[in-house]
């Protein structure tokens, strides 16, 4: 049986309402206040590149 991936809180998260957790495999994000809620499944490094280059907007 393979080990279960672990979630870690982003170092950029704050103690107020801005809390994000990243799956250890860098394939998902979730709200750390709602750990049973929805997740955003993506290749996180690719998402960050797209945001920084302006390909993802509000």
pLDDT of residue 25: 86
Global pTM?
Answer: 0.69
pLDDT of residue 12: 74
- Is residue 9 within 8 Å of 20, Cβ to Cβ? yes
How far apart are the C-alpha atoms of 15 and 17, rounded to whole Å? 7
**Residue 46, helix vs strand vs coil:** helix
Give just the sign of the alpha carbon dihedral 18, 51, 57, 43: negative
How far apart are the C-alpha atoms of 44 and 53, rounded to whole Å? 14
pLDDT tens per residue, range 13-51 = 777 677 889 998 889 999 888 889 999 999 999 998 999
């Amino acid at each position: 049986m393979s080990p279960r991936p672990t979630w870690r809180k982003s170092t950029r998260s704050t103690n107020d309402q801005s809390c994000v957790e990243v799956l250890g495999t860098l394939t998902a994000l979730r709200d750390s206040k709602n750990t049973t809620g929805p997740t955003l499944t993506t290749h996180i490094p690719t998402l960050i590149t797209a945001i920084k280059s302006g390909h993802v907007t509000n």
